[in-house]
Amino acid sequence: MAIVATAISVVAATGHGEPVEAAPIETVRSNAGPLGPITVIGDSVMLGSLAYGPDLTQRLVEQGWGPVRARAGEGYSTGYFPVDSSYRASYWINVWKSQGWDPAAVVVNFGANDVGLCQYRPESLDQCSYNAIKHLVDALGPGKRIWWPKITRFPLNRPSMDAWNAALDRMAAEHPDFHTWDWPSVMYATGNYSGDHTHLSPTGYRNRSLWMAQEITASLARATQVGAAAPLPSPSGAVSEMVPIGPTRVLDTRTDPPGRLAPGQTIEVDVSDVVPPDATAVAAYITAAGVGGAGHLGANACAPGIESTSFTNYTAGDRGAVTITPLTADKKFCVYTHAAADVIVDVQAAFVVDGLRFSPLPTLQRLVDTRDTAASQHLELTVPAGAEAVAVNITAVLGSAPGHVTAHPCLDPVPTTATLNYLPGEIIASSAYIPVSDEGTICLDAFSLVDLVVDLTGTFAPDGALAFQPAVPTRMVDTRDATGGWYPVHGLGQTLDVTVAPPGAKAVTGTITLVAPMRTSHLQAWSCGEQPENSNVNALAGRVLANFVTTGTTPEGKLCIFAINTGQTLFDTTGWWVE
């Protein structure tokens, strides 16, 4: 990696965090990274992050950025004030632009000097702070993704610190891609104090560079379209309609042979006793119970490649999800587990020649949100008249104990099946196909007290709009390796449009997976019109979670997927819906 630096041996602070005279530092790391080029510019606080290695530019390269061009200097300011040009950030931005350097991602660290200069301006401290920030934002130009941490001057100059940081919040509210970081809270929480409450010790600067690189990446990293859409899945069987079943448990290896599955093992699941003779596919909620490590489940019609797709991921406890999988001629399908686990299979529906047809809702209908009422272990919900079955998305919110939810057509007794498994303190969703009772209701029973959100996404009736074309489960999107064309990460607030079904399809069914988000996150998938308000899959930072999705597509067979925070996104198509 080529590195060009000037004055790299100069220190910006003493071991006690006191500022000293220091020459500016400019560093260029020229190797390209998958996240693309990035600019770093700042004052004496940033100078310390360039002086002490591993410095910020190295940490950014480790995250995947590059080339990186960085400059910082003591006394530097945004450029709003009439000081010598070489001390003005806007001057250096314009110089770099004239040299052809103008990345979309920019890291800025100014404030302590600017807010001090504001005392000589006629406008108020609040307005001067905002004007100084806006001056540099305008100099950077439109289309920039900007990351700018808050400053620390407390307790020496609390009013100026508060004014500047409030101006950063104001800019973040106004600018479409401006991100700020609450450095004061981090500094005081981690003990990185400094004598002047602005500069740091060498160790403090090194820690801050590591944290900044992670926060910068979480805020500014974006996917770019680097390739074509993935090849479409092959249809598996004829177009079919849905028949609700049960829900009915057909396998539980905790009590049924062959017993607990070993890592990498595949098991055949025989559903011939519960599905019609002409069934071509089955929808089932499949649980990995008591898992022996991190891994995933895959399912298909006992064909090669079962390990290469997933419909649920697990790390601990019990984790399950719905999937639709084609059946073999003798009404079997196979389940693969990556790690040792018991496998539980609860059938919800079969797909046959003559059954119920699906009518997706143009916008979801929220049936209940117990956060607005009161948590209950039993819910009875009314669904639209004429529906014989419904497609819903059920979300468990911050339960205090592990448990599961059973959704059913208000049966008595409650079936011994699962529709959603949840762990304490998490937000997790699961889709389900639920038969409707004669009274036009569905019921949900929870093993332990937990808030539940239930969104109706569509109905099934003999005169419904769409029939289902099952397909060989196929990965259509994976931002980790550019499957589907998008790479290298699904960024904060970014919407990807991805091809998941053939032209003419009205809706798609598949598994959406959120992989290791850098902050707690969720994904939304929809037909690229007005963005919905719900979430399809939720995950805490660093976790991997999946959910089953049935949603509309564009006429070209595309799906829009939105990420609230940076992470990796996968989508596996298992079929699509046609008129």
Domain contains 318: yes
List the CATH number of the domain containing 115: 3.40.50.1110
Q: Are residues 80 and 135 in the same domain?
A: yes
Report the C-alpha dihedral over residues 160, 164, 170, 174, rounded to 10 degrees. Answer: 150
235 located within any domain: no
Task: Mention every residue, 6+ apart, whose C-beta is less than 8 A from residue 442.
Answer: 380, 381, 383, 390, 392, 407, 408, 409, 410, 434, 435, 436
Residue 288: the pLDDT is: 94
Residues 438 and 470 in one domain: no
DSSP per position, 431-481? EEEEEPPTTSEEEEEESS--EEEEEEEEEEETT-SBEEEEEEEEEEEETTT
Assess if residue 419 is contained within a domain: yes
pTM value is 0.88
Q: Are residues 255 and 288 in the same domain?
A: yes
81/120 same-domain check: yes
**Domain match, 67 and 180 both:** yes
Q: Look at residues 427, 417, 408, 387 and name the one whose alpha carbon lies nearest to residue 547.
A: 427
How far apart CA 358 and CA 233 sit, in angstroms, is 21
pLDDT at 237: 80
* Residues 455, 457: Cα–Cα separation, whole Å: 6
229 found inside a domain: no
Q: Decide which of 332, 352, 372 is a domain's last residue.
A: 352
Q: Are residues 184 and 295 in the same domain?
A: no
Q: Are residues 503 and 443 in the same domain?
A: no
How many angstroms separate the CA atoms of 505 and 422, rounded?
33
Residues 570 and 450 in one domain: no
Q: Pick the closest to residue 470 from 241, 304, 278, 197 (CA basis).
A: 241
- According to the model, what pLDDT value does residue 3 have? 38
Residue 305: the pLDDT is 86
Check whether residue 432 and residue 512 sit in a common domain.
no
In a domain, 296, yes or no: yes
One domain for residues 252 and 163? no
Q: What share of the chain is helix, strand, coil (3-state, %, to 5)?
A: 15, 40, 40
d(CA 122, CA 348): 70
Residue 226 domain-assigned (yes or no): no
Calculate ∠ Cα 35-40-41, nearest 5°. Answer: 165
User: Can you give the pLDDT at residue 188?
Assistant: 85
Instruction: Give the separation between CA 162 and CA 153, rounded to whole angstroms.
Output: 9
Q: d(Cα 12, Cα 7) in Å, to the nearest integer?
A: 11
How do strand 507-515 and strand 568-578 relate by DSSP bridges?
antiparallel
Q: Is residue 119 part of a domain?
A: yes
C-alpha to C-alpha distance for 455 and 534, rounded to whole angstroms: 8
Contact (CB, 8 A) for 218 and 107 = no
Write down which residue in 337, 352, 367 finishes a domain.
Answer: 352
Q: Is residue 12 domain-shared with residue 147, that is, in the same domain?
A: yes
Q: Is residue 233 part of a domain?
A: no
Please identify, among 416, 443, 461, the residue that sits at the C-terminal boundary of a domain: 461
pLDDT < 70 stretches in the chain: 1-21, 154-155
| Domain carrying residue 573 | 466-579
Our count of domains for the chain comes to 4
Q: What's the pLDDT at 423?
A: 87
Identify the pLDDT of residue 154: 66
> For position 371, which CATH number holds?
2.60.120
| Residue 396, pLDDT score | 93
Rounded distance, CA 578 to CA 240, Å? 10
Residue 67: is the preceding peptide bond cis (ω within 30°)? Answer: yes
Are 382 and 341 contained in the same domain? no
